[in-house]
Structure 1
Amino acid sequence: MVTTRVSLATDATAWDATVARLGGRLLQSWRWGLFKERHGWKPYRFLFETNQAVAAAQALVRSIWGLSLVYVPRGPVCDRPEPALAEAVKTTLDTLARETRAIIVLVEPEDERGAALLPQSLGWRPSPTVVQPRRTLKVPVGDDDALLRQMKPKARYNVRLACRRGVTTRLADPHELGAFYELLEETARRDGFGIHRPEYFADLLETFGQDAALIFAEFDGALAAAALVVRFGDEAVYLYGASRTELQRHMPAYAVQWRALQWAREHGCRWYDLWGIPDDDEPPPEASADQRNVRAGLWGVYRFKLGFGGTSYTYPGMRECVRNPLLVAAWRRLRPLEG
Structure 2
Amino acid sequence: MSTPVQPTLVTTSRMGAFGRIMDTTDRTPGTLHTSNAWDRQLHRIGGHLLQSWRWGEFQQRHGWTARRIQVSDSAGTAMAQVLVRFQGPLSVAYIPRGPAIFGDPEVMWPMLLERVDALARRNRTIMTLIEPNDDSVLTGTLADVGAARRADRGQSCPRVRIPLLDDETILERMHQETRHNLDLAQRRGVKAGRYPAGQLAIEALYRLMAESADRNGFGLHSLGYYEDFLHTFGDDAVLLFAKADDGALAAALVTARFGNEAITMFGGSSAHGDGHRAAVLLQFEAMRWAREMGCGTYDLRGILNRNSERPGTDEGRWLSWFENGFGGEIPTCPLTIERRHVPVLPWLARTLKRIER
TM-score (normalised: structure 2): 0.86
Taking a change above 3 Å as real, the CA distance of residues 98 and 30 of structure 1, as seen in their structure-2 partners, is: same
- 1:144 and 2:201 correspond: no
- 1:258 and 2:284 correspond: yes
| TM-fit CA distance, 1:236 | 0.8
Secondary structure of the residue that 2:155 maps to in structure 1? coil
| TM-fit CA distance, 1:246 | 2.5
Alignment of 1:17-32 (within 5 A): 17-32=40-55
Counterpart among 222, 237, 242 of residue 263 in structure 2: 237
Match of 1:279 in 2: 305
Taking a change above 3 Å as real, the CA distance of residues 117 and 153 of structure 1, as seen in their structure-2 partners, is: same
Taking a change above 3 Å as real, the CA distance of residues 327 and 221 of structure 1, as seen in their structure-2 partners, is: farther
Alignment of 1:151-162 (within 5 A): 151-162=174-185
Match of 2:112 in 1: 89
**Contact 1:89-1:117 at 8 Å conserved across structures:** no
Secondary structure of the residue that 2:162 maps to in structure 1? strand
Q: Which moved more, 1:15-24 or 1:5-14?
A: 5-14
- 1:182 and 2:207 correspond: yes
Match of 1:268 in 2: 294
Secondary structure of the residue that 2:335 maps to in structure 1? coil
Match of 1:5 in 2: 5
Which one-letter code corresponds to 1:203 in the other structure?
D
Counterpart among 73, 81, 99 of residue 58 in structure 1: 81
| TM-fit CA distance, 1:122 | 4.1
Match of 1:335 in 2: 353
Q: String of CA shifts for 1:190-223, please: whole Å, max 9, x gaps.
A: 1111111111101111111101111000112211
**Contact 2:87-2:352 at 8 Å conserved across structures:** no
Taking a change above 3 Å as real, the CA distance of residues 16 and 324 of structure 1, as seen in their structure-2 partners, is: same
Structure 2 segments unaligned to the other structure (5+ residues): 8-25, 27-31
Q: String of CA shifts for 1:73-109, please: whole Å, max 9, x gaps.
A: 1111112235442222121111100000111122222
Secondary structure of the residue that 1:313 maps to in structure 2? coil
Taking a change above 3 Å as real, the CA distance of residues 84 and 119 of structure 1, as seen in their structure-2 partners, is: farther
Match of 1:215 in 2: 240
**Contact 1:6-1:49 at 8 Å conserved across structures:** no
Which one-letter code corresponds to 1:104 in the other structure?
M
**Contact 2:127-2:349 at 8 Å conserved across structures:** no
Taking a change above 3 Å as real, the CA distance of residues 199 and 208 of structure 1, as seen in their structure-2 partners, is: same
Q: RMSD between aligned alpha carbons?
A: 2.1
| TM-fit CA distance, 1:274 | 0.6
Which one-letter code corresponds to 1:299 in the other structure?
R
Query: Stretches of 4+ moved more than 6 A in 1?
Result: none
Match of 1:299 in 2: 317
**Contact 1:4-1:85 at 8 Å conserved across structures:** no
Taking a change above 3 Å as real, the CA distance of residues 4 and 251 of structure 1, as seen in their structure-2 partners, is: same
Taking a change above 3 Å as real, the CA distance of residues 55 and 217 of structure 1, as seen in their structure-2 partners, is: same
**Contact 1:233-1:269 at 8 Å conserved across structures:** yes
| TM-fit CA distance, 1:6 | 5.3
**Contact 1:34-1:43 at 8 Å conserved across structures:** yes
Secondary structure of the residue that 1:200 maps to in structure 2? helix
**Contact 1:130-1:318 at 8 Å conserved across structures:** yes
Aligned counterparts of 2:125 and 2:202: Cα–Cα separation in 1: 36
| TM-fit CA distance, 1:128 | 3.3
Q: String of CA shifts for 1:292-326, please: whole Å, max 9, x gaps.
A: x3xxx123111011111101123321222222357
Aligned counterparts of 2:259 and 2:311: Cα–Cα separation in 1: 37
Match of 1:322 in 2: 340
Aligned counterparts of 1:77 and 1:87: Cα–Cα separation in 2: 14
Structure 1 segments unaligned to the other structure (5+ residues): none
**Contact 1:85-1:117 at 8 Å conserved across structures:** no
Aligned counterparts of 1:10 and 1:161: Cα–Cα separation in 2: 50
Match of 1:131 in 2: 154
Match of 2:196 in 1: 173
Secondary structure of the residue that 1:105 maps to in structure 2? strand
TM-score (normalised: structure 1): 0.91
How many percent of aligned residue pairs carry the same amino acid? 37
Alignment coverage as a number of residue pairs: 331
Aligned counterparts of 1:312 and 1:265: Cα–Cα separation in 2: 20
Aligned counterparts of 2:160 and 2:70: Cα–Cα separation in 1: 29
Q: String of CA shifts for 1:230-272, please: whole Å, max 9, x gaps.
A: 1111111112221111343322112111111111111111111
